[in-house]
Amino acid sequence: MDHAALSPAFRRLARSNLAAQLAEQLALAAVPLTAVLALGGEAGATGLLAMAQTLPFLLLALPLGVLADRCDRRRLMAQAEWVRAAALLAIPAAAWLGWLSLPLLGLFAGIAAIGTVAYSVAAPAIVPALVPQGALATANSRLELVRSIAYAGGPALAGALVGGTGTAVAFVAAALLSALAAILLAGLPEPPRAARPPHRRPLADLAEGAVFVWRHPLLRPIAATATVWNLSWFLLQAAYVPHAAGTLGLDAAGIGLSLAAYGAGMVAGAAAAPAVARALPIGRMIAVGPVVSVAAGGLMALSIAWPEPMVAGAGLFLFGAGPILWTIGQTTLRQAATPPELLGRVSALLTMATFGARPLGAGLGALVGAAWGPAPCILLAAAGFVAQAAIIAASAVPRVRTLSGAAPAPQPVSA
């Protein structure tokens, strides 16, 4: 599918998405830098701040999914971006007034993350209304390429801004990017949708979405695979820095360079996705990510016995490149298989499953690492990547050849 198939409305969404993703990555990097450089925070404090920045995914993904299916998705995303911009501006304002503290920084960081949650839930739900079904894979590839570029470049930009001008400029820049994302959304059309039944309870809406995913022969294994992958990935992340510093003998610069391989892999995978989508049926494209993750996990395990930084770097590159193809493919299939009135809740449920597994994986890594060191964490994570590949391989997903050939969506339960 060529670029002409992507409507001006979608291209406007893509530009808004670029601004929103850059704002997110700037904020994610600037918050711990502020905690350490300006407030004297240590490892425990930065860990709690990271929790504050991810907690909204656990608390708000499902309610925002319900809202995305009930109200104007464009307006929901724009309002959340304005909230993020205000929260980010409040951080340098509080510092200028002498009020900023670690708890207040965590509060503002958590509020700012609402913009990320709203975008993660609503954007995939609005894409099918902006492009034809045959262009969904191309459209999702563009959005993931933007996210990958922001993921790779955002932290470096934050570091340069903080190092050159102080933390305030980084937060102001992120706030301006959020404002730009909201302004771009203002010109986006909101396609009409069927009216929801009057006085319908939010819990009934949530149950409808959950039952739909559970009964669907494609979405259920996708949700299970995503959960196990994220559990394994954050188990690995909890052990990687001690492993890199100890077993691999890397200094801080070397660890940073090896971690950059992950972002490079994301960019490479997103750039290659359109060609992969043309070469493979949609089901096999989805399966590529879990299979590549097995190879990546194997390389990380190999680096225990063969402590060569290039081996670990290659594993991190594959972790970036393969799962991006998974994300693009499963998002495209999900959009095609889900009725429009359920898209917000289905996106929210998968977001909840994905992000809900992350603190569990990190906690498991902390327990295993404290008891036995980083090597068992890496081996356990490698076993998890084998498990997630087995889940998707045993399902009907790899056998899906085209979006029109996807299994018919089951009827949602009534309230």
List pLDDT tens digits, range 191-247.
Answer: 666 555 555 677 777 788 888 999 999 999 999 999 999 889 878 877 787 888 888
**Lowest-pLDDT range of 63-67, 193-197, 258-262:** 193-197
DSSP string, 141-205: HHHHHHHHHHHHHHHHHHHHHHHHH-HHHHHHHHHHHHHHHHHHHHT------PPPPTT--HHHH
Structural domains of the chain ordered from first start: 1-190 (1.20.1250.20), 202-409 (1.20.1250.20)
Helices within 72-101 (DSSP H only): 73-97
For residue 372, is pLDDT > 50? yes
**pLDDT tens, position by position, 330-354:** 999 998 888 888 888 888 888 887 7
Q: What is the CA radius of gyration of the chain?
A: 21
Which pLDDT value is given to residue 215?
Answer: 92
Determine contact, residues 226/353, Cβ cutoff 8 Å. yes
**pLDDT tens, position by position, 101-155:** 988 998 998 899 888 888 888 888 888 888 888 788 888 888 888 888 887 777 6
Average pLDDT of the residues in 362-369: 75
**Lowest-pLDDT range of 111-120, 155-164, 376-385, 406-415:** 406-415
- The structure's pTM equals 0.78
Which pLDDT value is given to residue 398?
Answer: 95
At 59, the pLDDT band (50, 70, 90 cuts) reads confident
